[in-house]
Chain A
Amino acid sequence: MDLDQKREKFTQEYSDLFEYLYRYVSVRLGHRHDAEDLVSDIFIKSYTRLADYEPDKGSLRQWLTGIAKNEILMHWRRKRPLVSLEITDDVMGSAHDPHPSQLVDNQMLAEKIFSSLPPATKALVALRYVEDLSYEELSDMTGKQVPALRQFFSRLHRALRLEFSEMYDEPTTL
């Protein structure tokens, strides 16, 4: 595939790629304005470096995701967004001592815990459990100490065990 063909492919897929990447970056940064800047940068960079794209190794989407992931990590290191490692006690309380109605629908509890996290903290969760970053990498990005990060994820696990105990590999991943 020559450069013109790659450009044509990029043009054809632009709309879908933009929407995918916008969502991907927004959730992993937790900050809309920063995400918009970064998405613009990623598209401009990738379009100017389109010659480097090797179709044999994967789709454009995969290639862009790789670039985006790198840019996200660099952004975190550069900007050090404020990340709260607190899970509010009332949410934790309901996890430890579930009301019978909550036991009926533990999915709601999981969602409640997740939705109580600030955007930057949700982003941290995405980076840990979707992007598989290590605690050391997260510590490098956020400036938080590894033990503090471990404690945060441990609390999160305990709270979520109710819903996901069967599929959960918590002890090995901590």
Chain B
Amino acid sequence: MNNNPFHHLIEREESHVQVDQQLKSRLARKLKISQQKTWSMKPFLGFAFAGALVLIIAFSIKNPHSLIHEGTDDWQYQTDKNDERVMNKVQGVSSPQLYNPLSRSNFFGAAQDSLGKISGKSSPVPVPSSVQSAELGFSTGGAKDIGNFRENINNGYLPLPTDVTYEGLFYDYSFDTGKAEACNELFCPSYARAIARDPLSGSDEYYLSVGLNSNIKESDFQRPKTNFVVVLDISGSMSSSFDQYYYDQFGGRVEVSGREANKSKMQLATESLQALVDHVRPDDRLGIVLFSDSATVAKPLRLVRDTNLIKLKQHIGELGPTGGTNMSAGIEEGTKMLQNREGGNDGYANRLIFITDAMPNQGEFGAQGLHGLAQKNAEQGIDMSFMGIGVDFQSELVEALTKVRGANYLSIHSAPEFKKRLGEEFDFLVTPMVYDLKLNLESSGFAIDKIYGSPDADLSSGNIMHVRTLFPSKTENGETKGGLVLIKLRKTAEQPNATLKVSYEDTKGGQHANTASVSFEKIMVGSYDNLGIRKGIVLSRYAELLKQWLSGERGVLYDDMKPMDNWERTSTPLRVSNPYQSRFQMFREYLRNEINAIHDSKMDQEMKILDKLVSLAPVLPPGGGPIPVPMPVPIDDWKNP
């Protein structure tokens, strides 16, 4: 077999693989091995020793504390491993007295209206450079993946409609933004047009994509110094294993058999927090708040370079879940920590990072109340990120909470994957750069019908598109991760021209504007200006179909089932009722063709999901009527006389 033709072809395929040198270096650092060949180092050991000595002296002059102490172990939360309440992770017994360091009254002492104004937030430093380097693009805030949707499908559960978001799906992919010329401003939109026939309705639809380009070189991007307060959920629901629901279909708790079961959400959360600690910098500040029935400061806000990170990680690893879920207490305690920090108005950015399954059942847990807290924080310059854990992560709530300026959320599926993602994106995920982007479409021939790829579609109306926040995003081979917002246009008259006026605000409050024109004259059905808009169209149609299906299924289910009183999410087996079986089949063919045209193999994951959905036994429609039978294929029975 050695001479078979495939050896040659596969060897050539291997030689074409471009090795990720960054991964190589990261892995070398993780393994603590040098990539230098040691034999070549021997002659230079003397020089290396002298050089190292000079560096150590220089470093110690600049950082006098760095060599003489290893940082403060300022952990305050007492974890008693023998405490029955802590060990009883499965039952999630409520234990309001568990926290010893601060009295309960302290947790709730701060009334919302006493929140002080935090200002002087520092800005990222985009310094345009003549050095050749990859430029960054932008992506919108809100969801940064649809991981929770994927995990529910994988585990045979019916996702929530909010598990699928257009912006989350878009951020799973990179887009050709259609950028044709150098960008000279912080934000330079580029536009592409398409007229595409809908595979299900057969109607011709007009689309305009907005490419989210910037003038920032990746090498020039610097995340500002930031006060990070991580608010970690240690409530009882975090005891369930990652791939199981804490509550079953009827609201009863699922008994999880402890450590022998799959990894618990709590383990995943603590491992993720340990990974996150690796990404803060010496001149950032880090604080940690824990919440269950109430909230407590586990680690006060302190400069990272003054903190003993080794001890900190050990303490994090010892945490266990207990009690109810009082998310508002977590928000308030985290906010208080940022307001009362040392240094005052020192130009640091401020971000609360929540690691949670988002199932609050105590304190303020109305969506409006929690949203109010998030909104108030945003107004004070405290941005929020949510990192959702578990298949029962409540995306419905977090989607509402992150509809504020500067907010986003992502889901955590596994600690290694999360670590990898932090390595690639942490600085981008915590650095908003453009605010209040508004696009005004001036045309007598078109109106905005719908926006895809932005969490702020609800703000858009008539001829105005509004996006609250843009975060930097990686651009590779001319494609930007999540770098597209898609506008579906409604044709109102035979007038093909439109003027697009864009305005936005930078992080220092500076206002910017630019104008462009587009025309749909001589554009034929089935033509796309580039593959970016084509990918955006197929993905938005896919997400729309999934959302319609999930809303339909949930609508049927809610007729028969009393929903729980709070955000605790109950499990529902994966099901597909007609007519979605046949719609998925039709859409699958369309998706297959589009994948072939677009050449993005990552989209195969969506084919796999449709394959799974199509393979499920169809469920009887509401009312128990017969399942519609597909129309028979007409027979050509013409006979020549």
A31 located at the interface, meaning its Cβ lies under 8 Å from any Cβ of chain B in the complex: yes
Give a binary string over A15-37; 1 marks a CB under 8 Å from any B CB, 0 the rest: 10011001110110011010011
Which of A56-64, A65-73, A94-102, A124-132 lies at the interface with chain B?
Answer: A124-132
Contact B9 A114 (CB under 8 A): yes
Instruction: Give chain A's interface residue range (CB within 8 Å of chain B).
Output: 35 or more
Contact B417 A37 (CB under 8 A): yes
Q: What is the bound-complex CA distance between A11 and B417, given in angstroms?
A: 25
B341 located at the interface, meaning its Cβ lies under 8 Å from any Cβ of chain A in the complex: no
Contact A119 B33 (CB under 8 A): no
Q: What is the bound-complex CA distance between A40 and B414, given in angstroms?
A: 14
Which of B34-42, B321-329, B365-373, B562-570 lies at the interface with chain A?
Answer: B34-42
A138 located at the interface, meaning its Cβ lies under 8 Å from any Cβ of chain B in the complex: no
Checking A40, A118, A132 against B604 with a beta-carbon cut-off of 8 angstroms, the contacting residue is A118
A12-B38, A126-B10 known; A26-B31 Cβ under 8 A: no
Residues of A close to B28: CB separation below 8 A: 14, 18
Interface residues of B in 324-356 (CB under 8 A from A): none
Contact A27 B14 (CB under 8 A): yes
Interface residues of A in 116-159 (CB under 8 A from B): 118-120, 122, 125-126, 128-130, 132
Q: What is the bound-complex CA distance between A118 and B599, given in angstroms?
A: 9
Residues of B close to A41: CB separation below 8 A: 416
Checking B6, B35, B420, B605 against A126 with a beta-carbon cut-off of 8 angstroms, the contacting residue is B6
* Nearest CB of B to A59, in Å: 16
Q: What is the bound-complex CA distance between A10 and B19, given in angstroms?
A: 19
Give a binary string over B524-564; 1 marks a CB under 8 Å from any A CB, 0 the rest: 00000000000000000000000000000000000000000
A125-B10, A167-B4 known; A15-B35 Cβ under 8 A: yes
B23 located at the interface, meaning its Cβ lies under 8 Å from any Cβ of chain A in the complex: yes
Contact B20 A22 (CB under 8 A): yes
> Looking at B1, B38, B39, B604, which has the most chain A CB atoms within 10 Å of its CB?
B604
Checking B13, B37, B417 against A12 with a beta-carbon cut-off of 8 angstroms, the contacting residue is B37
Count of A-B residue pairs with CB < 8 Å: 110
Nearest opposing residue in chain A for B35, CB measure? A15
Contact A37 B416 (CB under 8 A): yes
Q: What is the bound-complex CA distance between A163 and B9, given in angstroms?
A: 13
B3 located at the interface, meaning its Cβ lies under 8 Å from any Cβ of chain A in the complex: yes
Q: What is the bound-complex CA distance between A7 and B605, given in angstroms?
A: 39
* Nearest CB of B to A98, in Å: 16
Q: What is the bound-complex CA distance between A33 and B605, given in angstroms?
A: 12
Residues of B close to A81: CB separation below 8 A: 604, 608
A8-B38, A22-B17, A37-B420 known; A44-B9 Cβ under 8 A: no
A12-B39, A22-B19, A26-B17 known; A173-B1 Cβ under 8 A: yes
A11-B38, A24-B14 known; A44-B7 Cβ under 8 A: no
B607 located at the interface, meaning its Cβ lies under 8 Å from any Cβ of chain A in the complex: yes
A12-B39, A120-B604 known; A129-B24 Cβ under 8 A: no
A74 located at the interface, meaning its Cβ lies under 8 Å from any Cβ of chain B in the complex: no
B54 located at the interface, meaning its Cβ lies under 8 Å from any Cβ of chain A in the complex: no
Residues of B close to A110: CB separation below 8 A: 5, 9
Q: What is the bound-complex CA distance between A129 and B10, given in angstroms?
A: 9
B30 located at the interface, meaning its Cβ lies under 8 Å from any Cβ of chain A in the complex: yes
A47 located at the interface, meaning its Cβ lies under 8 Å from any Cβ of chain B in the complex: yes
Q: What is the bound-complex CA distance between A11 and B537, given in angstroms?
A: 48
B586 located at the interface, meaning its Cβ lies under 8 Å from any Cβ of chain A in the complex: no
Residues of A close to B24: CB separation below 8 A: 15, 18-19, 22
Contact A11 B34 (CB under 8 A): yes
Contact A44 B4 (CB under 8 A): no
Nearest opposing residue in chain A for B12, CB measure? A111
Checking A11, A24, A114, A132 against B33 with a beta-carbon cut-off of 8 angstroms, the contacting residue is A11
B114 located at the interface, meaning its Cβ lies under 8 Å from any Cβ of chain A in the complex: no
* Nearest CB of A to B635, in Å: 25
A37-B420, A173-B1 known; A129-B23 Cβ under 8 A: no
10 sample A-B contacts, Cβ–Cβ < 8 Å, listed by A number: A11-B34, A18-B19, A27-B13, A40-B416, A40-B420, A43-B27, A44-B31, A47-B33, A81-B604, A129-B1
Give the B-binding residues of A (Cβ under 8 A). 7-8, 10-12, 14-15, 18-19, 22-24, 26-27, 30-31, 33, 36-37, 39-41, 43-44, 47, 81-82, 110-111, 114, 118-120, 122, 125-126, 128-130, 132, 160, 163-164, 167-169, 173
A-B contact sample (13 more), CB < 8 A, given A14-B28, A36-B20, A122-B13: A12-B37, A15-B35, A19-B24, A36-B420, A40-B416, A44-B31, A82-B604, A122-B10, A129-B7, A130-B10, A163-B5, A168-B5, A169-B4
Give the A-binding residues of B (Cβ under 8 A). 1, 3-7, 9-10, 13-15, 17, 19-20, 23-24, 27-28, 30-31, 33-35, 37-39, 416-417, 420, 601-602, 604-605, 607-608, 611
